[in-house]
Amino acid sequence: YIKEINMKIIITTFCFLMTSTFCFTQNLIIESESEVRDSQVEFVQHEVTGSFIKGADVIAVDLDQDEDMDIISVNSHTSAEIAWWQNNGFNEFTKITIRDNLNKTRSVRAEDVNDDGHIDLVVAVYGENRILYLENNGDETFSDYEVDANFVGAHTIDIKDVNDDDHLDILCSGFDFNYHNGEIAWWINDGQSPIGWTKQLISNRFQQSPFIYGEDMDGDDDMDVIACGELNDEILWWENDGDENFTEHMVDSLINGIHTVIARDVDLDGDMDILAAACIGSQVAWYENDGNQNFNKHPLGYFAGALWLDATDLDNDGDRDLFGAPQGANQLAWWENPGNQQFIKHNFDNTFTQSFCVVPAMMDNDNDTDLVAIGWQSNKISWFENRLEDPNLLNQPESVVFDSLYNRYLVSNWGDGNIIEISISGEHSYFNTELDQAAGLHIVGNVVYVASSNGSNTGIIGIDLATGGVVFDVDIIEKQLLNDITSDTSGNLYVTDCEADKIFKVRISNMTYSTFVESGLGYPNGVLFDKPNNRLLVLNGELPGGPIVAVDLEDSSLTTVVNTNLTAIDGLTTDQFRNFYFSSWATDKVYRYDASLTNPPEVISSGHTNPADIYYNQLNDVLAVPNFHANIVDFIPITHTEVVEVEYPPNYFRLMQNYPNPFNPTTTIKYQIQELSFVTLKVYDVLGNEITTLVNEDKPNGSYEVEFSTTGEFASGAYFYQLKAGSYLETKKMVFLR
């Protein structure tokens, strides 16, 4: 928790950079309260990555057909990638680079193009004037085929059966930035193996056509085409006569800098309408089809640098809502349909800058539609969880821990005192509702301990992990504002009091306490037991330099370890390699020190909203970040590019993270035994079924390693390995990728 300071911030923005042209917006608009209203739909952002440089297009598809949604993305720079973000079933994503070293990939679409039961990809490589077909070999490796090696400015792909021969064809728009050779065309799939592709020109009307979409616009059971011209400011549709002869029809010739056109039946009257987003004019509109292909334009107002507009039912009320991506604003938006197409705009709460596109997907299988977005300047890919069917229970989340006994996260609410559990699949539910205020959380054995300063139950409260009932209660009379908690290996808890500038020591066995540090601290916040050095590490938010201070457990003496040179520092946690992570409300970032605590810290994640008491889950290398004023918890996968061997004292039990991880087919597990013990090391699947036993014998004091090989029928996904030695028990997670 950090003391709140009221501030007024004025921000000026303007629309910036498209893939292949600049798009400046000089207008300034302030939306009144009557234009943007509250809604029951709430979207919570979950970042997939913050380092996908100049992301240009994203789709959600179950590429490996394991019944969860993966994400495919491309980016638009001179060393571009086609990337697959593989979902492990818990919306934890592992990046797999399908292709790299491409020049400005601009669009990707996925379908079973060759009808073999596997999902293939088609990609427009704008900087190389190429269209690529990536055929899935059946194991999510891909064979490359060139559809066209000289389609100038290959920009946006669509995959449809244009000629009704039961083979999926390819449509593409050409965005010729320098000259006047832009085309819209389609390529016939001949149905052979390998597929042969034959180009068919539809029109060369546009120099720069950023979008094409295939749909039956006139209800005659053949595939028509809609496209737009950004320099022409035009939307047209091409009528298919049934023999793939196309006649053009104007829809709008006065939409400034049109970028995206998509066909949907917005008003559910049985014919296809058109949705349009215009970047340069910052316009969004939908065009109502009267049934005779006369299109009545319905403007939706200003939308800074509009790049995307699409429709689906976001609030589960049976009509089509709209959603869009504004290149020139810091938030996505959706338009609620009250049933009569008089749309009401809602901005998302979460910041997401320079968005290029946003697509619908069912990411968490909770019966509402989520969204996936990609950001160009922010380098972000995020999925936005629709909480319509899963209302937000978080209220100023302060602290988070992982309960490995029941495979869930627990989050403390400062706002209402409730403890919320978040399942691995992302479902929220109440764990305990007996407190009026809750701050730090810490698990010892089968009890989670909570720091509480206000209400009927105050002090250090222990809650049974199995029942959710209170089993421990020590009121600290001298408390002012208890905050974070940690524990040593001798049965003691340590809790910081940020207002009293003290640390209290609580003996678990007899429920007594004493003042452990009386003075010398300045707004002590996050606290961590540094076992190898037998000391506490404490963040101090109001001492000069924002130091991390060491507290000797023998005599409670204080030593400054390092100055963070930051203010409003809050949470402190560590990973299995003894890197140290801390959060700052002042910068809304999380930083990492290496094990020496002497190197300058690096920024691990940014864009949070008052990141509080963070937690590093060593079982799956995920950093959990509670956002105090955004009422969300961010779960950020951390990749360790270099494994650091950490030396522990010989009298220390330790199970290390396997390496490599993810792995295929073999990985190494290291562990350390404190004293002669009967040791078991077993591997389990995600359902708790024992897969194999790696160690089952007496082991003397020492360090060991064992190799685990996935011989036989092992499915891709997460597995757990558990070390038991005497009373010591530790479990970690590893990921096998075929």
Please compute the mean of the pLDDT values over residues 267-271 and round it to a whole number: 95
Same domain, yes or no, for 249 and 282? Answer: yes
Is a pLDDT exceeding 90 seen at residue 12?
no
In a domain, 392, yes or no: no
The whole-number pLDDT of residue 687 equals 67
Same domain, yes or no, for 629 and 696? Answer: no
The whole-number pLDDT of residue 350 equals 85
**CB half-sphere exposure, 71, CA atoms < 13 A:** 34
CA distance 734 to 328: 41
Predicted confidence band at 390 (pLDDT cuts at 50, 70, 90)? low
Same domain, yes or no, for 233 and 97? Answer: yes
Write down which residue in 637, 662, 681 finishes a domain.
637
In a domain, 318, yes or no: no
Write down which residue in 272, 291, 312 finishes a domain.
312
In a domain, 703, yes or no: yes
Residue that wins the pLDDT comparison between 44 and 219: 219
Same domain, yes or no, for 616 and 667? Answer: no
Give tens-digit pLDDT for 29-49.
223 333 344 457 889 888 899
Same domain, yes or no, for 578 and 670? Answer: no
Nearest to 463 by CA among 421, 495, 496: 421
Residue that wins the pLDDT comparison between 19 and 715: 715
Same domain, yes or no, for 666 and 618? Answer: no
Same domain, yes or no, for 687 and 631? Answer: no
The whole-number pLDDT of residue 4 equals 42
- Specify whether the CB–CB gap between 723 and 671 falls below 8 A: yes
- In order of 14, 56, 282, 306, 429, the CA distances from 329 in angstroms are 7, 16, 10, 9, 34
Question: Whole-prediction pTM value?
Answer: 0.58
Is a pLDDT exceeding 60 seen at residue 21?
no
Q: Which residues of 145-163 are buried (b: 16+ CB within 10 A; e: fewer)?
A: bebbeebbbbbbbbbbebb
Predicted confidence band at 730 (pLDDT cuts at 50, 70, 90)? confident
Q: Which of 125-134, 450-459, 567-576 has the lowest mean pLDDT?
A: 450-459
Same domain, yes or no, for 463 and 534? Answer: yes
Write down which residue in 579, 612, 637 finishes a domain.
637
Q: How many domains does the chain have?
A: 3
Same domain, yes or no, for 616 and 711? Answer: no
What mean pLDDT value characterizes the chain?
A: 89
Give tens-digit pLDDT for 584-634.
999 999 999 999 998 789 999 888 899 999 999 988 889 999 999 988 999
Please compute the mean of the pLDDT values over residues 8-36 and round it to a whole number: 30
Which CATH number do you get for residue 702? 2.60.40.1930
Please compute the mean of the pLDDT values over residues 357-379 and round it to a whole number: 92
In a domain, 386, yes or no: no
Same domain, yes or no, for 404 and 511? Answer: yes
Is a pLDDT exceeding 70 seen at residue 14?
no
Q: Which of 161-170, 179-188, 192-201, 326-335 has the lowest mean pLDDT?
A: 179-188
In a domain, 610, yes or no: yes
CA distance 618 to 638: 10
The whole-number pLDDT of residue 33 equals 31
Give tens-digit pLDDT for 644-686.
555 554 456 788 888 888 888 889 999 988 888 899 999 887 6
Domain range holding 706?
Answer: 654-736
Is a pLDDT exceeding 60 seen at residue 8?
no
- Specify whether the CB–CB gap between 681 and 693 falls below 8 A: yes
Quote the distance between the C-alpha of residue 502 and its chain's center. 37
Q: Which of 4-18, 81-95, 489-503, 595-609 has the lowest mean pLDDT?
A: 4-18
Same domain, yes or no, for 633 and 660? Answer: no
pLDDT over 90, % of the chain: 70
Same domain, yes or no, for 157 and 283? Answer: yes
Give tens-digit pLDDT for 545-570.
999 999 999 999 999 999 999 999 99
The whole-number pLDDT of residue 10 equals 25
Is a pLDDT exceeding 70 seen at residue 20?
no
Which CATH number do you get for residue 530? 2.120.10.30
In a domain, 180, yes or no: yes
